[in-house]
Structure 1
Amino acid sequence: MPGKVVLITGASRGIGAAVARRLAGEGDQLALVGLEPEELKKVAEDCGPDAGWWETDVTDLASLRTAVEGIVARYGRIDVVVASAGIAAPGFSRSMDPDVWERVLDVDLYGVWRTVRLTLPYLLESKGYLLLVSSLAAIVHIPGLASYNVSKAGVEAMGNSLRTELRHLGVKVGVAHLTFVDTDMVRGVDEHPVFGKVRTGIPLANRVYPLELAVDKFTQGIRKRSRVVHVPGWIGPLKIFRALIPHVVELGSRFSVAKADRAALADIEARGVAASTRASGAGGLADAEKAAKR
């Protein structure tokens, strides 16, 4: 008997793709949504004959609606939605490309909202599970990633609100918080000549965890319909100290940020603002190319 129908956004690479492969191996039917059709096709092939893929930009409501309708037409239902599409663009707010700053919110925050809006009617029918992917960035606000911090804090707030709004209707809502995991996006940030060094100098953000850990935690969360998923587990207790964390970040970065600010301006002068502050990794490049065509 086929397992659950699981829709995953951002399924071309990284956590979305890896979780899709794991769930497919456990018998679920995967509906993969994202950019980069060749990568999506490869992931779908890994997920078996029941998997389908839809090239979709989560910033385009019409495109996303077409994908969701296609998924329902093919499978007849949606049981689980994992809203994991996201990009990160390193840069200080005063000097980075403002269009890129806003694009991060459009993908990471409003893209999640559009996903919720369009899939919720089907989750209500199946009394399903919705997992919104936030980040440690919602709790620890790393300098040089302001747009990402803002978007992930918004996703957390959205999930917390939806959890209460939908509980009596039988839909469970989870929010995933994860620190830096070994993905293409994180490697792209670390390769930045300025901001890779900023991240590695901040406590709680200076370690990269294996992708397999995230896959394990996400899969467990989906199976248990958990209200929170923490990758790694110490993020849960860390939330208790939210009021203190900004002071710790400020203290730890009081010397490094001034130096990085000068370096960022020099990098923009040398490479141009588009190259210096674009979204990181191959997925970020694909998103930038998509945005440029709109």
Structure 2
Amino acid sequence: MAADSPLRNRTVVVTGAARGLGAAQAHALARRGARLALIGHEGTALQAVAAALPAPALAVEADITDEEALGRAADTVRERLGPPSAVVANAGIAEGGPFATADMASWRRVVDVNLVGSALTARTFLADLLRTEGYFLQVASLASIGAAPMMSAYCASKAGVEAFAHSLRAEVAHHGVAVGIAYLNWTDTDMIRDADRYVVLRELRANMPPPARRVHPVEAVAERLARAVERRRTAVYVPAWLRLAQVTRAALPPLVLRRCRRALPRLEAEEPFRPTGPLGAGGRADSGAAH
């Protein structure tokens, strides 16, 4: 453990920590001596992650879109670990496919988890962060900067969380609370591996410029995010070149449009586009919990 980390003996909340990036973040933060509270609706998986950490951690089952359940989870965190000094809004789901044939209940669920769930997470723990002059990290995406076809709900939700985090930062900065945004490219999680099973999603990624199509190891991404929490970063880009996308973001929609006009007709001729349903084990678990 990092004896000199500012997170040592501080309570840190991570949502969506049952697997993937959330679980990897839990490990990276625990190595820094943080007291971890893991929140999500997969209780057994959360407990398994907590048990594997190098220090005792608290696993609390709650759906982040359920305000009352999230409030009860927060009460448990305060009682067992004390008020959080940092909260990482990591929970997220995705689905792919053409908007014209999307199941709108599933489409809304993506927005509800990714955007509304993140806002409820911030709202639930905001009093604690004001008390501790803490830090809120919103996990966003390259999709916050440049939207892609076949992922309309995900892109809309990630653009929304970026705007939400900017707004929240301006509201609470004078109280000593810092708000950061993590802009991530493709990360090696079961969500991305599942997306690659669908030809159109795999081919759309393959048509991106070489640096943009690379998939990054989840442990390396989690380590970058843990450092961002330690340093209360306003923004963290993984990989670092994504910062350039911010500067050129106005040019991204025309570029995406031009590439898709060439690629989509060919792909649609090869195989009709169909909705993917929830991607990855986390998305499927959420679908079961939501119904």
Q: How would you bin the TM-score normalised by the shorter chain?
A: over 0.9
Partner of 1:54: 60
Partner AA of 1:234 in structure 2: W
Is 1:7 the equivalent of 2:6?
A: no
Partner AA of 1:286 in structure 2: A
Q: Distance in 1 between matches of 2:69 and 2:266?
A: 43
Q: Distance in 2 between matches of 1:262 and 1:34?
A: 40
3-state SS of the aligned residue for 2:96?
A: coil
Partner of 1:255: 262
Q: Distance in 1 between matches of 2:217 and 2:110?
A: 24
Q: Work out whether residues 199 and 206 of structure 1, in 8 Å CA contact, stay in contact via their aligned partners in 2.
A: yes
Q: Distance in 2 between matches of 1:31 and 1:94?
A: 40
1:122 to 113, 117, 128: 128
Q: Distance in 2 between matches of 1:192 and 1:13?
A: 22
Partner AA of 1:118 in structure 2: T
Please, what TM-score do these two structures have when normalized by structure 1? 0.92
3-state SS of the aligned residue for 1:32?
A: strand
Partner AA of 2:278 in structure 1: A
Q: Distance in 2 between matches of 1:63 and 1:160?
A: 26
Partner of 1:18: 24
**Which has the higher mean CA deviation after the structures are superposed, 151-160 or 186-195?**
186-195
3-state SS of the aligned residue for 2:221?
A: helix
Q: Work out whether residues 143 and 257 of structure 1, in 8 Å CA contact, stay in contact via their aligned partners in 2.
A: no
Q: Work out whether residues 139 and 239 of structure 1, in 8 Å CA contact, stay in contact via their aligned partners in 2.
A: yes
Q: Distance in 2 between matches of 1:77 and 1:85?
A: 20
Q: What CA deviation, in whole Å up to 9, does each residue of 1:218-277 have, x standing for no partner?
A: 01100100000110001112211111110111111112223445667x464xxxxxxx43
Q: Work out whether residues 213 and 231 of structure 1, in 8 Å CA contact, stay in contact via their aligned partners in 2.
A: no
Count of residues in Structure 1 that have an aligned counterpart in Structure 2? 284
**Which has the higher mean CA deviation after the structures are superposed, 206-215 or 154-163?**
206-215
Q: Distance in 2 between matches of 1:127 and 1:222?
A: 13
Q: Distance in 2 between matches of 1:263 and 1:73?
A: 57
1:199 CA displacement: 2.3
Partner of 2:95: 89
Q: Work out whether residues 198 and 276 of structure 2, in 8 Å CA contact, stay in contact via their aligned partners in 1.
A: no
Is 1:107 the equivalent of 2:113?
A: yes
What are the ranges of 5 or more consecutive residues in structure 1 without an aligned counterpart? 269-275
Please, what TM-score do these two structures have when normalized by structure 2? 0.93
Partner of 1:183: 189
Provide the aligned C-alpha RMSD in A.
1.6
**Which has the higher mean CA deviation after the structures are superposed, 115-124 or 248-257?**
248-257
Q: What CA deviation, in whole Å up to 9, does each residue of 1:104-130 have, x standing for no partner?
A: 000000000010110101100011000
What are the ranges of 5 or more consecutive residues in structure 2 without an aligned counterpart? none
Partner AA of 1:284 in structure 2: G
Partner of 2:277: 278
Q: Distance in 2 between matches of 1:48 and 1:70?
A: 21
Q: Distance in 2 between matches of 1:244 and 1:22?
A: 35
Summarize the Cα distance change of 1:49–1:213 in structure 2 as closer, same or farther, 3 Å threshold: closer
Q: Work out whether residues 34 and 54 of structure 1, in 8 Å CA contact, stay in contact via their aligned partners in 2.
A: yes
Q: Distance in 2 between matches of 1:41 and 1:156?
A: 30
Q: Distance in 2 between matches of 1:262 and 1:60?
A: 42
Q: Work out whether residues 108 and 153 of structure 2, in 8 Å CA contact, stay in contact via their aligned partners in 1.
A: yes
Q: Distance in 2 between matches of 1:200 and 1:219?
A: 29
Partner AA of 1:214 in structure 2: V
Q: Distance in 1 between matches of 2:44 and 2:81?
A: 22
3-state SS of the aligned residue for 2:131?
A: helix
Is 1:42 the equivalent of 2:41?
A: no
Partner of 1:272: none
3-state SS of the aligned residue for 2:250?
A: coil
Summarize the Cα distance change of 1:107–1:172 in structure 2 as closer, same or farther, 3 Å threshold: same
**Which has the higher mean CA deviation after the structures are superposed, 168-177 or 189-198?**
189-198
Partner of 2:202: 196
